[in-house]
Amino acid sequence: MLNRLSRMSSMLARDGFALVCAILLIVIIGFALVGPFFLSDHATKMQLTMRNASPGFDGGWLYIFGGDALGRSVLARVIVGARNTLMIAAAAVAISAIVGTLLGMISGYRGGSVDNIIMRLADIILSFPALLLALIIIYLLGPSGFNIIIVLAIAGIPIYLRTARAQVLEVRERLYVSAARSMGLSPWRIVVSHVLPALLPTTLTLATLEFSNVVLTESALSFLGLGIQPPDFTWGAMVAAGRSYLSSAWWISFWPGFFIMLTTLSLNVLSSWVRTAMDSQQSWRLETSVTS
Amino acid sequence: MLTYIIRRASHSLIALVGLLMLVFFLSRLTGDPASVLLPVDATAAQRIEFAARHGLDDSLIVQFGSYLKDLVQFDFGMSLRQQRGAMEPALEAFPHTLQLAFVTMLLALPLAVCLGALAANRPGSLFDRITTILTLAGASAPTFWIAVLAVLFFSLSLGWLPTSGTGTIAHWVLPVGVLMLRPVGLLAQVVRTTMVGAINSPYVKTAWAKGVPRSQILFVHVLRNSLLPLVSVAGDLTVSMVNGAVIVETIFGWPGIGALLLNAIIERDFAVVQACILLTACSIFILNIVIDLIYAFLDPRIRYS
């Protein structure tokens, strides 16, 4: 395991672009984890002289990204917004990956009517506009962070479900699984110790890719005013808040959106890198060539 | 083929009924339309009269039964807000959405194919690297942010293009341009990846050895390999746009079905919500069958049974 990890990291060091993205991501996550402890006061503190202050060093390092309409530090708000955005997305991805993969395994391994019911339910979720689902749940249960997570998690389940099911259908026919079955192992044991390990790499790659999609969906929802509500905020809501001051203070909308893009871009680059690195037939490309 | 379509249709019908049922019951949980549509100081008697007039006083099961009964007679109910059939505003808005999706894909596909093919032509070249970074950025950028920045730059600063609305060609530029970024980015990546894979295959080497011109190898022999993944990703993107490009439609004041649906939900105009969902779900079903047919046309090995 340790050996593999060091091989992966030396492969990462050779691929400049992926390395930059990994570092960016670590920095963003680091700031999101640590920053709010020091900056959450500054994110809400209004300083009237700094209203719509333009980016620069005039107002000290806190106002390097400028000030918003109420004179709050955009930098502090971007960092606190990062924590909310990333936490919501991480929780949603974790829930939908676990629930989706579990249901997909049940669906694929059991087959028959259970499979049919689960797949039709997935069809319904897929054809249900995520926006409508979000509006309804938020009307019903109120716009709390937890409810947003549930909305995003439900909308994400079908992808994991379908992938897991398709893989289980293939894995269950393999010789070692048939052997386990003929030795009288319980279906539960077979699934957990023989099928699940085969699914994990794909599910993890899918999850990194989905993470960036979920960040985008969550931002779009909060841009439309359907995310967590003030005083809490995420990047999407910050972009929306800056819209009214677009012609006089573009930076209020610019920075949060810029960091959304930086995060999703890094995630996309890394997930395609991980996909190649995990694929033993492809990974030689990363080990041998500098440019790929 | 026909049996395939029939089986597909029966699956979709189940999903559609389930969808309508969920939309029907869940949307009614969001609250009473009277509280949005009647004045705040409406008397209890007025509220009861309002509910009775629109059949909102029956139990939910009865309401759903009569909704289904009307539905099979192609009666989609009345819009509470607009005092007309619920399907009318949906049918008015839908062409706008379809036009937007169609024009966007029509421009995005050739652009993505050219970018992807030129990048795959010389993997690792400067052009390839720039295209890769730009297409990745296009696929990763939040649409609403790009839309806001585009309005700021092209409409407010330069004053070249209108901020919102429809009518002239100039009104199309920003919505289509913003909506195009993600499809162009994703599709160009698909084309590049599949083409780079195919360039090393034996049949391409044979073509080289025979002295086939480079452009012909690239666009005739290699590009063909990308068509199936291209169609499948393009299909998914079109489906999501037909569902209503809510963000672009709201920011640019485009009177499409996504904007209509959002408004109808906020105003609790349930009949319109249901009409919109029904309309988009049916067209997505047809679109999916068309995509399957294109698949079968492109790759004769694919058989549906």
Report the mean per-residue pLDDT for chain A: 79
Do the Cβ atoms of A239 and B27 come within 8 Å?
Answer: no
Question: What's the mean pLDDT in A19-45?
Answer: 80
pLDDT at B258: 83
pLDDT at A43: 67
Encode pLDDT of A88-137 as tens digits: 999 999 999 999 999 888 888 887 888 888 888 887 777 776 766 777 77
Structural contact between residues B182 and B237, judged by C-beta atoms closer than 8 angstroms: yes
ipTM: 0.77
Other CB atoms closer than 10 Å to residue B209's CB: what's the count? 8
Structural contact between residues A130 and A151, judged by C-beta atoms closer than 8 angstroms: yes
Q: Measure the CA–CA gap between A285 and A276, rounded to whole angstroms.
A: 8
Phi, psi dihedral angles at B161 (to 5 degrees): -125, 150
Best of B8, B27, B145 to substitute, by most chain A Cβ atoms within 10 angstroms, is: B145
Asked whether the CA dihedral B130, B131, B135, B138 is positive or negative, the reply is: positive
Structural contact between residues A47 and A69, judged by C-beta atoms closer than 8 angstroms: no
**Could you tell me where the DSSP H helices lie in chain B?**
2-29, 33-37, 44-53, 60-72, 87-121, 126-140, 143-150, 170-199, 202-210, 214-216, 223-242, 246-251, 257-266, 270-298
A52, pLDDT greater than 80: no
Best of A28, A124, A138, A290 to substitute, by most chain B Cβ atoms within 10 angstroms, is: A124
Place B13 in a pLDDT band, splitting at 50, 70 and 90: confident
How far, in Å, are A129, B108, B118, B195, B201 from residue B207 at the CA level?
Answer: 47, 30, 19, 15, 10
More confident residue, A277 or B87: B87
Structure pTM?
A: 0.80
How far, in Å, are B9, B11, B17, B68, B158 from residue B6 at the CA level?
Answer: 5, 9, 16, 22, 54
Among A247, A54, A260, smallest CA distance to B148 is for A247
Asked whether the CA dihedral B76, B79, B85, B88 is positive or negative, the reply is: negative
- Which positions in chain B touch A259 (Cβ < 8 Å)? none
B252, pLDDT greater than 80: yes
Q: A-side interface with B, Cβ within 8 Å?
A: 17, 120-121, 123-124, 127-129, 131-132, 135-136, 139-140, 212, 216, 219-220, 223-224, 236, 239-240, 242-243, 246-247, 250, 253-254, 257-258, 260-261, 264-265, 267-269, 291-292
| Residue A73, strand partner residues | A67
Do the Cβ atoms of B273 and A239 come within 8 Å?
Answer: no
Smallest CA–CA distance from B17 into chain A, residue: A124
| Maximum Cα interatomic distance, chain A, rounded to a whole number of Å | 77
CA atoms within 13 A on the CB side of A287: 12
pLDDT at A292: 32
Q: Measure the CA–CA gap between B27 and B261, rounded to whole angstroms.
A: 12
Encode pLDDT of B193-223 as tens digits: 888 877 778 888 888 888 888 888 888 778 8
Encode pLDDT of B258-282 as tens digits: 888 888 877 777 788 888 888 888 8
Q: Measure the CA–CA gap between A84 and A88, rounded to whole angstroms.
A: 6
pLDDT at B107: 92
3-state secondary structure of A67: strand
Question: What's the mean pLDDT in A267-278?
Answer: 78
A222, pLDDT greater than 70: yes
Asked whether the CA dihedral A112, A114, A118, A120 is positive or negative, the reply is: positive
CA atoms within 13 A on the CB side of A166: 8
Best of B28, B128, B148 to substitute, by most chain A Cβ atoms within 10 angstroms, is: B148
The amino acid sitting at B45 is A
More confident residue, B109 or B55: B109
| Residue A255, strand partner residues | none
Q: What are the structure tokens assigned to B235, written together?
A: 């299909």
Question: What's the mean pLDDT in B174-191?
Answer: 87
pLDDT at A1: 57
How much of chain B exceeds pLDDT 70, in percent?
A: 94
Range in A202-216, B43-57, B88-102, B117-131 with the lowest mean pLDDT? B43-57
